[in-house]
Structure 1
Amino acid sequence: MATSKMVLKCAKTGRLFFSTEEATEHAEAFGKDYANFDEVALDLKVWICVETGRPAYTEQDMQRLKMRDPESKTWEEKTIAYMMELQKKKDEIGRRKDRFLASVDQKKLEILSMKSHGRQRSAKALYHTKATGTVEAAEAWLAENADSPDVDKLSDEFLNGVFGGGADVAMGEAGADVEMAVVDDRKVGDPNPPEIKESINQELLKQVMEMGFSELRSEKALYKTDNVGLEYAVNWLGDHSEDADIDLPLLKPAVPKPKMSDKDAEAKLLELQRKLREKKAADAKEAEKEKERERVEYTKRMAVAQEAFKQDEAKRAIEQIQREKSEHERHKAELKETLRQDYIERFGVEPPEKEEGAEIQEKSGKDKVAFFLNKLKKTYFATDKEGLKTCLSTLKIYIKNMHENPMEPKFKTLKLDNKAFQTRVAPFDGAIDLLDALGFEKKEDCLQQRKSVPDGFLCGNATKFIDLILGQM
C-alpha cells in the first residue's frame, strides 16, 4: 500500500514542501531556525497563476505577485490536494522522459549531443532511425526535421506512442514518493467533520447563526478565522460567499504536528545535516571512483597510442635508412661506371680488378661499418642466428660504452684474453674488422682505441645498424 507523502510548512517562512527531501535541503541551507516544520491540511487554499503557473499561499502573496509581475493577471483558487496531484503528474512525466532517454543507445546519444544537437532531439532521432541503428541515419533524420516545431519536444502524445499509452510507472517504485489523489466525496447538506465541530467556539457559533448564516457556513467561518471573533467570521463569510464550495463541508483536518522545542529542532537539524553529509560523501566517493576508472582507461589508451607511434617511428627510420643506402649504392655505382669509362678512354682497355682488401680500404668509415655488419649478417644469419645475436649485442655494449664515455680509458681498451670477448666476438669473421673501422687497433694483448676521442658519428651509426639487424631477428 502506498505511503502518504507529507506536505510540510516552514514555521519561519511559510514556504510549503512536498517532500521531506526538499524540507531537509531547506533546513540545511538556512540553519536551525528554519528546521521547524508543520504538517498542513490538504484543503488549505492556494492560488495558481494561469499565465505563469506560479503559486501563492496567501491572498496577500497573490496581491504582491500581481504588483511585481504585470503578466500575472488571472488566478485560480485551488487546494494543497490539487497541487500534490499536479506535482504527481509532473513527476510522472519526468520519469517517462527519463525512461525514454535511457532507452536509446547511450554512446550514440552522447556522440550526437556533443555535436550540439541536444539530448531530447538526439534521442528522438535515434528512436525514429532505430531500424538502421547508425549515427549517420540519425543525423540525416535531424537534418530532414530541423524545421519541425516539435523536434525538441517529448510531448505526451509522442511518449504515449513510444510506451503504448498512459503512465507505466510501477506503483512499487512510485508509491513511496507520490501522494495519491484525495477522493472528494463531499455533498451539499453533509455536516462538517467532528474534528471541525469540536474546535469551534460554541458561543461565537450561536452569535453567527443568529445573524442568519447556516450552521455549516458559520462553522467554516469560525474555523478559518481560528475563533478570533464575530467580526472576523462575518468578514470571512462576506469575502467567500461566492465560493463554489461554500456550502460543502470542510475536509477532515490533518492531525496537527506538535511544535518542536529548540532542543528538538536543533537535534533534527543535526540529523538532517548528517544525512546530507553522508549522501554527499557517498556521491563524492562514487564520483572519485568514476574519475579513477576514466583515468585508468585514458592511461591504457595513451599507452597503446604511444606504442603504435613508436612502432611507426621505427618503421619510418628503417625505411629512411634503406632509402639512404639505396641512394648511396646508386651514386657509388654511377661513380664507378664513370671512372671505368674514363679509364677505357685513356688506355683503351678495361681497368684491372681491385683486390677486396684494397677496395674496402677506400671506403669511408660509415661504409666500412655498414660493410662489416652486412658481412656478419650474410655469414651467420642463416647458420648461427643465436651466436650472431650474442655477438652483435656484445659489440653494441662495447660501442655504446665508448660513445657515452669518450674520456674513460677503460672503455677504450678491449682485452683479447677476456672470456666474453673470446667466446662472443672473436670467433665471428668481420667482428674485429668492425672494431678496427671504429678506431680500435691491435696491441700485444688488447685492442686499443687509436684516437684520444672516439668518432661519435661512427659509433652512433654502428649502434643504429646493429639495432636494425637485431630488429630483423
Structure 2
Amino acid sequence: MAFLEIKQKLMSEVEALGFPRARVVRALHSTGNVSSEAAIHWLIDHENDPDIDQMPPVAVNIDIESPEPFHITEEMRRKAKELRIRSSKELQEAKRIAEEIERKRNINSRQVEKEEEKRAREKVVQKLEQDKIERKRFGGISSERSESLATKATATKAGEKDEPRSQNSLPATSVSKAVSMRECLRSLRHHHKDNFDKVRNAYQTLFIYVRNVAKNPDEERFRKIRLSNPLFQERVGSLTGGIEFLELCGFRKEGEFLYLPHDKIDPEALNTAGSLLNSALTNPFFGVLQSV
C-alpha cells in the first residue's frame, strides 16, 4: 500500500491554527512537507475543492522526529550567552530603526491627509463662489468682479488654466484609497493587539487574496469569496477592518459572496494593497504608532 509521508512537527503547527487533520494531510502532502506556511497557502488556494475534507484514500505514515541526545559543554554555554547578548543589542537597534521609520511614515501620511483636506476645502470654496456668481447672473445682477470670477471658473473647469500638478504627486482618489487601506490594517491590529498571531494570519490571508487576483485576473475563483466559509470568517471576516480592506480593493458583497467583477479590477489599487500588506508583514511596528 502507498504511504503519504507527513512530518509530525509541521502537522502539529498547521493543526494548531484550527485546520482539520484531513485538510492538513492533503496540504502537507501536496506541498512536499516543505513548511507550515506553504501548507497554509495551499489550504487557502484550495478551500473550495470538493474533496478538501476527505482523508486521502491511502495510509498515512506520520514521521515522528526524535532528537539525538548530545552533551552540552561549558564552551557551548559561553558562546550561547555571548550570542544572546549580541542578539539583544542588535534587536534593540533594529527596533529603534523600525520605530524611526514608522514615525517618519506616520508624519508623511499625516501630511498627505492634510494636503488632501486642503484641496477638498479649496474645491468646496470654489464651488460656493461659482454658485454665488451664477445666482447673481441669473438674478440680473452683474459686476466686473463677478464676470471676472465667472470667466476664471469657466477656464479652470475647461482645463485652460488649471493649476499644474506635480509629476510626482498621486491623484487625490488614489491617495485617499491608500490612506483608507492603511487605516483598515491599523484598526485590525489595534483591535487585536493582544493576539499578534491572529493579526499576522489576517495580513497573510489578505495578501494571498490580493496576490491571486493580481496574478490571475481572468480566474473567477480568485475573485469570489464565500462569506460563510469558516476559514475566511476565522482569519478575515470576523476581524475589524478585514472585509472593509477587501472592499477597498474592489470586492463587493453579492448575496453570500464577496465578488470582484472582472471589469472592476483596479491594478493600481491591488498594487497599493499588496505594498501595504507587505509592509505590515515585514515591519514589526506597523500600525503601533497611531498618531505623531
Normalising by the residue count of structure 1, what TM-score does the alignment of the two structures yield?
0.28
Which of the pair has more CA radius of gyration?
A: 1
Higher relative contact order structure (alpha carbons within 8 Å, sequence separation ≥ 6):
2
